[in-house]
Amino acid sequence: MNLHRLRYLVQLSELFVQGRAHEHWPQLASHIGAIERELGVKLVEHKGATLLGLTAAAREYVPTVDRILKSHDAAMEEAAAMASGLSGVLRLGITEDATTMRLSVLLRAFARAWPTIEVQLIEGRTSTLVEALRRHDIDLVLAPIAPDEAQVSSTAVWEAPWQVAMPPGHRLARHQVLRCEDLADEDLVMADPIASPQGHDLIDKAFRKASVEPRIVALMLTRSSMLTLVACGMGCTFVPRHMPITKLLDLRPLQVPPMVIHAIYSSEGLGSIASRFLDFALHPPGPME
């Protein structure tokens, strides 16, 4: 059945209601006749050259045709939206270091701008997320370290300056800004470099470059564990700025290169939705902090 002809039938039904069917009948007659021949059912009552109205069969048929046409139009709009990156699902892998207020604000702004895109968040280590990326189980990864691998590409998205988190009343809290040298004699709680490196390997490199040997007293798997130990007075740790943490700790900027959050994706290219998100992250409509 030709969908365009079915639209003419719905249009004719509306014209009968408006009392204008006779004006447009010359343009519609051939299309309605074709539908009648295909269905083997009379759809329009005539008396000579005068149109009387739709037949009972047509009056039953038109609402069904209208639903079919609207369903078809909605499906076409959805397909076009998905093709242009306006609708669908984004599977976004995130590391703990990328989970700051910057990401929270970005996700809220993206949801307002593209309400038809569902963002599914998958948290994990960079290596685990990149492996999922290779399997096409994830569309995009946000992580502080971009793997140097042929199968993936990366783009720097934002910078996150480092802060020192210390117990309240710590002696270093009197400083406005801290350097690695200031922490030379301090107990440090760090991320496990093997099990959960996160961005702390960047801190370790900064200490080495400053010729300071970090005095590490604990290696932890999660940020929450590190902050708990700091709150208990076991030492200091390092967090990206705008990391939502307890107000019970003192924070001071650390004078080291900022952590750079990268968008990591398959070297085969980005899908339309992932590309839309990356472009939004690189060119946000307003402040993201």
- pTM for the structure as a whole: 0.67
Average pLDDT, the chain: 88
| Per-residue confidence band for 1, with pLDDT thresholds at 50, 70 and 90 | low
289 near 243, Cβ under 8 Å? no
Q: What is the pLDDT of residue 261?
A: 93
Query: Which two tokens mark 92?
Result: 């976004």
Q: Looking at 51-65, 78-92, 259-273, which range is the least confident one?
A: 78-92
Q: Say if CB 55 and CB 39 are below 8 A apart.
A: no
- Which pLDDT does position 83 carry in this prediction? 64
Q: Binning pLDDT at 50, 70 and 90, where does residue 85 land?
A: low
